[in-house]
Amino acid sequence: MRHGLRTYLSAGRIDYKKLRKIDPEAARRAVIGYLKTSGHHISRTGAVFGINRTNLLHYQKGQRG
């Protein structure tokens, strides 16, 4: 890999709204888990789950407190 270029695995899309209807706690754990594994990359996590950055910031804040 050349300096400055990053490669990412192509990520699929997770239907967050459907998952939340089935099990809200599982949806929350999935988002928090993805945030941890992505190095807390909020924009990428939002794109994968189809939710906005504001909600992800709330997840992070809730996780810390």
pTM value > 0.75:
no
Give the domain range for residue 55.
Answer: 16-64
**Domain presence at residue 20:** yes
Within-domain flag for 11? no
Our CA angle for 19, 54, 47, nearest 5°, is 55
- Say whether pLDDT at 1 is over 80: no
- pLDDT, tens only, 2-48: 444 444 445 578 888 898 899 989 988 898 899 889 888 898 889 88
What is the domain count for the chain?
A: 1
Query: What backbone torsions phi and psi does residue 30 show, to the nearest 5 degrees?
Result: -65, -45
Is 1 part of any domain? no
Q: Does 9 map to a domain? A: no
Mean pLDDT of 43-60: 86
Q: Say what the pLDDT of residue 57 is.
A: 84
Does 8 fall in a domain?
Answer: no
Q: In this structure, are residues 14 and 51 in contact, taking their beta carbons and an 8 Å threshold? A: no
